Structure 1
């Protein structure tokens, strides 16, 4: 495995990418980025608005451009959007430029964590559980194929998850 200056977090919405990413960045004294927040800052509108006017495909185009920008940086922790791995170009950029951690989490736990969140366009549906199960089935093979390390964030407290990730990250960067 190559040495990696960057840590990229992948996984479904609600898996803890932003929470754990911030803690990892703090522990490593490096900048933290969230690709969705970066898209919102660059466009001046929130993700649901982008979905409304440009659809998922328009959003994925913007996401790909942002991933391209962010993976050129060195010494960062990046929380990607849950669907960032859908495009092969994004998977390639992430794999070439950093240590990828898949934050795996059960559908039940994700439902629990996202049930009051109104900022998730893909969950604006009559049956959020079914949507999450479908997303999980579609994306899990891609997450697993990309990941250098996998951790279950549904059972671990974020601090424990951060410690496990740091231990693994440091072991491959000796």
Structure 2
């Protein structure tokens, strides 16, 4: 079972203290984690932020804080269209406010406007996990409003098949599998970012 499922929870959305030996590069653009629910965006994003010594933010957490409601409550009261509008507004604000690592909800990258905005102001990284890996990570959790259906696996499969073509438009892609620890995936992310000197500037 992947360590991504068992990362100790830090206060979501809060700045992460740098780890010893971090800060080997200066972040010039916000690094935006995109991908399916269960891909590890929050766990990997938080660990990446700690490694780089920059703030970590989560768009879902910011939406919940602003609305003083949980994501499922927002879906139930106002619907998905309302949530997506607020999600775009929050992502735009976070991209303007600080350079760091931003984790986004699974549906955020489906919006062409969001994809364009993220690529203009930051860099998108798709955490690419196989369907079975995603299912193993999310099937015991009851806080995913899109999976509250009679056939949650079938729903997840449909979402996966519909969304992968959009995630494939991300600036960079990194594998997230069940055999690799969070730190191992962070290493892959940093290797991918080595091709983007406009995002990470190595210290001299």
Same fold per TM (> 0.5)?
yes
Please point out which of 157, 160, 174 is paired with 1:151. Answer: 174
Aligned-partner SS, 2:38:
coil
Q: Shift in Å at residue 87 of structure 1? A: 1.5
Aligned to 1:53: 77
Q: Shift in Å at residue 18 of structure 1? A: 0.2
Aligned partners of 1:168 and 1:114: how far apart in 2?
26
Aligned partners of 1:111 and 1:128: how far apart in 2?
9
Deviations 1:21-68 (A, max 9, x none): 000000010000010001001110000000001111111111111111
Aligned residues: 171
Q: Shift in Å at residue 109 of structure 1? A: 1.2
The 8 Å contact of residues 48 and 186 in structure 2, kept in 1 or not, is answered as yes
Aligned to 2:165: 141
1:103 aligns with 2:127: yes
Aligned-partner SS, 1:45:
coil
Deviations 1:125-169 (A, max 9, x none): 111111111111111111111x12211212422111101111221
Alignment of 1:1-174 (within 5 A): 4-145=28-169, 147-155=170-178, 156-173=180-197, 174=201
Moved over 4 A (4+): none
Q: Normalized per residue, which structure has more helix? A: 1
Aligned partners of 2:94 and 2:125: how far apart in 1?
16
The 8 Å contact of residues 99 and 169 in structure 1, kept in 2 or not, is answered as no
Aligned partners of 1:31 and 1:4: how far apart in 2?
13
Aligned partners of 1:127 and 1:152: how far apart in 2?
27
The 8 Å contact of residues 4 and 99 in structure 1, kept in 2 or not, is answered as no
Give TM-score, length-normalised by structure 2: 0.80
Mind listing any 5+ residue stretches in structure 1 that lack a counterpart?
none
